[in-house]
């Protein structure tokens, strides 16, 4: 049991640092090839923060741990809104940009509803995976066009890209090595995490679905947690909220899309009755909370955080 706990934390560390190294190396490598920072932000950085979820769900799906594959994404999306946005708002109230309300949040809610609809037959097929993946390609292109037409978006939505490429003193070879090491760390971390989580779940008599919805979901959301809380502290609310909304969209369309294309994923009926409706609830309730004063207040953050606590309590009771 002690060994499995060690492997669990090694897996989480591998996912976190693997994503960091992959994003940093890829961003610098792309910039060396004279690719625009906005393109790097909308592709490499956006996909990079969802890499822990992607690799974990793909490996879980291949090994037929379907509850972990689906629970990881549904649980991550719930944690992103209720836990991470809740904490970020408690740290500092978050002022919301209108673009999030008119462009990104409807897409997030639509993706959540679409996932719920296609899951009702109990399986995410390869064709449904393709449909989801086409959705992420379309969304990325749409956001890219919107960013190009709005010069402020280029400067404000992905300042982390400027930090990555602005401090680069490495050669291309070092960037490639960083990319490779990051990918290896991600795959190894996901393997350790899934293996240890399944073992611990069996020993403690907890279902794989609950482990996927909680431990693995929060663990793979560490990049989003770090980014959003730090952005909140720095008074960069657009990044804090945009990171969460964008991540939820990517999780559904990209992560589950790729995972289902590789291996059809069975959906647990419990997820359809409880977890996906909870994901939909937090996605939808965010709209009236934000549109009230276009600020996510500390009290609203406490409401979201309390809601997450109630949900987790319900899972383990």
The neighbour count for residue 34, using CB atoms within 10 Å, is 6
Between residues 201 and 238, the one the model is more confident about: 201
| Digit-coded pLDDT (tens) for 78-100 | 999 999 899 988 988 888 777 77
Mean pLDDT value across the chain = 80
CA 107 to CA 83: how far, in whole Å? 21
Q: Is the pLDDT of residue 35 over 70?
A: no
Confidence of residue 299 (pLDDT cuts 50, 70, 90): very high
Between residues 147 and 73, the one the model is more confident about: 73
| Digit-coded pLDDT (tens) for 169-185 | 556 777 778 778 877 88
Least Cα distance to 209 among 69, 80, 310 occurs for 69
Q: Is the pLDDT of residue 123 over 60?
A: yes
Q: Is the pLDDT of residue 48 over 60?
A: yes
CA 11 to CA 14: how far, in whole Å? 5
Core vs surface per residue 65-99: b (16+ CB within 10 A) or e: bbbbbbbbbbbbbbbbbbbbbbbbbbbbbbebbeb
Per-residue confidence (pLDDT) for residue 228, from 0 to 100: 72
Cα dihedral: 248, 251, 254, 257 (round 10):
-120
pLDDT, mean of residues 96-115: 86
| Digit-coded pLDDT (tens) for 230-272 | 667 766 666 667 778 888 998 899 999 999 999 899 999 999 9
- Number of independent structural domains in the chain: 1
% of residues, the chain, pLDDT over 70: 79
Crossing angle of helices 126-149 and 237-250, in 10° steps, is: 150
- Helix (H) / strand (E) element for 95: namely strand 94-95
The CATH code of the domain that includes 65 is 1.20.1420.30
% of residues, the chain, pLDDT over 90: 29
Q: State the residue range of the domain holding 11.
A: 2-316
Confidence of residue 33 (pLDDT cuts 50, 70, 90): low
């Amino acid at each position: 049991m002690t060994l499995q706990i060690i492997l669990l934390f090694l897996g989480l560390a591998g996912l976190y640092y693997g994503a960091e190294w992959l994003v940093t190396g890829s961003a610098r490598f792309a910039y060396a090839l004279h690719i625009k920072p906005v393109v790097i932000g909308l592709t490499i950085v956006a996909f990079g923060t969802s890499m822990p979820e992607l690799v974990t769900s793909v490996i879980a799906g291949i090994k037929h741990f379907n509850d972990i594959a689906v629970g990881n994404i549904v649980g991550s999306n719930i944690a992103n809104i209720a836990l991470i946005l809740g904490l970020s708002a408690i740290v500092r109230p978050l002022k919301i940009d209108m673009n999030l309300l008119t462009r990104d949040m409807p897409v997030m809610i639509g993706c959540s509803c679409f996932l719920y609809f296609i899951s009702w037959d109990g399986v995410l097929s390869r064709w449904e995976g393709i449909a989801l993946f086409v959705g992420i390609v379309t969304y990325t292109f749409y956001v890219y066009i919107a960013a190009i037409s709005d010069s402020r978006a280029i400067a404000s939505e992905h300042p982390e890209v400027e930090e990555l490429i602005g401090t680069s003193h490495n050669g291309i070879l070092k960037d490639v090595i960083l990319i490779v090491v990051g990918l290896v760390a991600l795959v190894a971390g996901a393997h350790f995490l899934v293996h240890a989580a399944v073992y611990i779940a069996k020993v403690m008599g907890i279902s794989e679905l609950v482990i996927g919805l909680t431990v693995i979901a929060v663990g793979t959301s560490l990049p989003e947690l770090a980014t959003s809380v730090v952005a909140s502290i720095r008074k960069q609310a657009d990044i804090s909220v945009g990171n969460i909304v964008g991540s939820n969209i990517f999780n559904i369309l990209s992560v589950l899309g790729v995972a289902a294309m590789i291996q059809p994923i069975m959906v647990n009926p419990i997820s359809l009755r409880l977890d996906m409706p909870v994901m939909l609830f937090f996605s939808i309730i965010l709209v009236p909370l934000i549109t009230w004063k276009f600020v996510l207040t500390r009290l609203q953050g406490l409401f979201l955080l309390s809601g997450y606590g109630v949900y987790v309590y319900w899972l383990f009771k």
